[in-house]
Amino acid sequence: MTATIGNIQADAKTGGLSFAGKVLHPLWLRERVVETNAFDPISHQRLYEPAELDPSIIVQSAEISADDKLSIKFSDGYAGIFDIVELAREIGLTDNPETIPLPKSWNSNLNFKRFDWNALDDPAEMKALLTAYFENAFCIMDNTPTDRDSLKKHARRFGFLRDTNFGEIFNVETKPSATDLAYTDVALASHTDNPYRWPVPSIQYLHCLANEVQGGLSTLVDGMAVAEALAQENQAWADILETVPVRFRYDGPTGIYEDTAPLIARDYRGFVNHIRFSPRLDFVPALDPDTLTIFYAARRRMHELANDLKFQIQFPFKPGTLLMMNNYRLFHGRTAFNGKQGYRHLQGCYIDHDGPQCLYRLLATGHTETFVQRES
Ligand SMILES: [Fe+2]
């Protein structure tokens, strides 16, 4: 084969290629062949089982053309033409516009922009909103239409609704004989929603239709910042909350839901990606007393930090305000109010994480959001 092609060279040891100093395995290259007999151009799925490829395949020849295309012939007779720009992006040599912005931890000093619902038809503004959402794990929109149940339409702009036993849409309003403290006028301490479900609902929306009361401010705290602070104060506390499996249970009039998991989980990159915190319905196992003493100290400190004003932002709900928040990263709560002052009505719903991610990728690659639709 050609010994040197620009900065792409044969790698004799593996039978693959070396690209900018990174060795690409021959099978890694072979399963990226997108010729029509190997790859479906509509679904972008392989037309064969890559696990059945001959494990001894090597690159026999490789050539670069003037238009940045790399032609490779493989020892099994297949050939492929690769776009070098895409190859460089996949191995991290250049930025990928589809990459979801990384989370940035924040505290009460956070300066955040509120978004006008009426400006979101501009793809650049919608992308700015999504960027803020991925970085901060929430965003606030104003001037949304306030018709009852219009939240379904608003949330569907970002993803598909997650139904639960509380309904596709749930109403947060003071009512007698409430089945949840959310439906009263008492303060709600920082918590995450529904840790007893599997999967836990990902993104929560709260939409204000009416608010005639003082107080009742919404509170948000970044769970990533709390986890960082906890680890700085006492690593053993952070460790125990990431390892002890805690049982969460909802046993109510409409079902019995239960799941078991640590209070803090991380993704493959090490970012905190799932806080479960609802101490009124968690049940730690009967571990040895020394371990439980550490666990209770850690959970107590987590509760204190999650309700510490140094970490908290507060804002009022006005009719038309729409909050979108990541229930896997943020604690949310509410200050008390006097329900006798007037009517207060919020509606809520959930969607999955992948909806806004899909929308971001589409906008980042020049599509319009109208592309987000159901396959019929
Ligand atoms: Fe909640």
pLDDT of the chain, 376 residues: tens digit per residue: 444 445 789 999 999 999 988 999 999 999 999 877 788 888 889 998 999 999 999 999 999 988 889 999 999 999 999 999 999 999 999 999 999 999 999 999 999 999 999 999 999 999 999 999 999 999 999 999 999 999 999 999 999 999 999 999 999 887 656 666 777 788 999 999 999 999 999 999 999 999 998 888 999 999 999 999 999 999 999 999 999 999 999 998 889 999 999 999 999 999 999 999 999 999 999 999 999 999 999 999 999 999 999 999 999 999 999 999 999 999 999 998 888 888 899 999 999 999 999 999 999 999 876 655 555 5
CB 326 within 8 A of CB 137: yes
Compute, in angstroms, the gap from residue 93 CA to the centroid of ligand 1.
42
Report the phi/psi class of residue 255: left, alpha or beta, with left for phi > 0 and alpha for psi in -120 to 50.
left
For residue 202, how far is its CA from the centre of ligand 1 (angstroms)? 12
**Contact predicate 325/203, CB 8 Å:** yes
CA of 47 to the centre of ligand 1 (A): 45
* 66 C-alpha to ligand 1 centroid (Å): 57
Cβ-contact 106, 136 below 8 angstroms: yes
Tell me the C-alpha to C-alpha distance, in Å, between residue 17 and each of 73, 255, 349. 12, 57, 50
For residue 12, report the distance from its CA to the centre of ligand 1, in Å. 58
CA of 173 to the centre of ligand 1 (A): 13
Contacts of 326 (CB under 8 A, 6+ apart): 133, 137, 138, 202, 203, 353
Q: How far is the CA of 278 from the centre of ligand 1 (A)?
A: 9
CA of 120 to the centre of ligand 1 (A): 27
Give me ligand 1 centre to Cα 268, in Å: 27
Q: Distance, CA 121 to ligand 1 centroid (Å)?
A: 29
Q: How remote is the CA of residue 182 from the centroid of ligand 1, in Å? A: 7
Instruction: Measure 272 CA to ligand 1 centroid, in angstroms.
Output: 20
What is the CATH architecture of 115-371?
4-Layer Sandwich (3.60)
Q: How far is the CA of 167 from the centre of ligand 1 (A)?
A: 15
B/e letters for 96-121, b = 16+ CB within 10 Å, e = fewer, are eeeebeebebbbeeeeeeebebeebe
Q: What are phi and psi of 240, to 5 degrees?
A: -70, -30
Instruction: Look at the domain 4-90 and name its fold.
Output: NE0471 N-terminal domain-like (3.30.2020)
pLDDT of residue 39: 85
Q: Tell me how far the alpha carbon of residue 127 lies from the centroid of ligand 1, in angstroms.
A: 27
Task: Return the beta strands (E) in 193-280 as ranges.
Answer: 203-211, 218-222, 246-252, 255-261, 264-266, 272-275
What are the residues whose beta carbon lies below 5 Å from ligand 1 (ion)? 193
Residue at 269: amino acid letter:
R
Hey, do 4-90 and 115-371 end up sharing a CATH topology, with the first three levels equal? no
Q: 137 alpha carbon to ligand 1 midpoint, in Å?
A: 15
C-alpha distances in angstroms, 64 versus 7, 16, 34, 149? 10, 15, 17, 57
Cα–ligand 1 centroid distance for 333 (angstroms)? 7
Question: Contact 81/70 with Cβ under 8 angstroms?
Answer: yes
User: What is the pLDDT at residue 1?
Assistant: 44
Rounded to the nearest whole angstrom, what is the distance from the C-alpha of residue 193 to the centroid of ligand 1?
A: 5
Q: What pLDDT score does 179 carry?
A: 66
Span from the CA of 337 to the centroid of ligand 1 (angstroms): 16
Pull the structure tokens for residue 316: 């009022």
Distance 100 CA to ligand 1 centre (A): 26
**Alpha carbon of 18 to ligand 1 centroid (Å):** 52
Question: What number of other Cβ atoms are within 10 A of residue 6's Cβ?
Answer: 11
* d(C-alpha 165, C-alpha 251), whole Å: 12
Question: So where are the chain's domains?
Answer: 4-90, 115-371
The pLDDT of residue 3 is 42
Tell me the three state secondary structure of residue 29.
helix
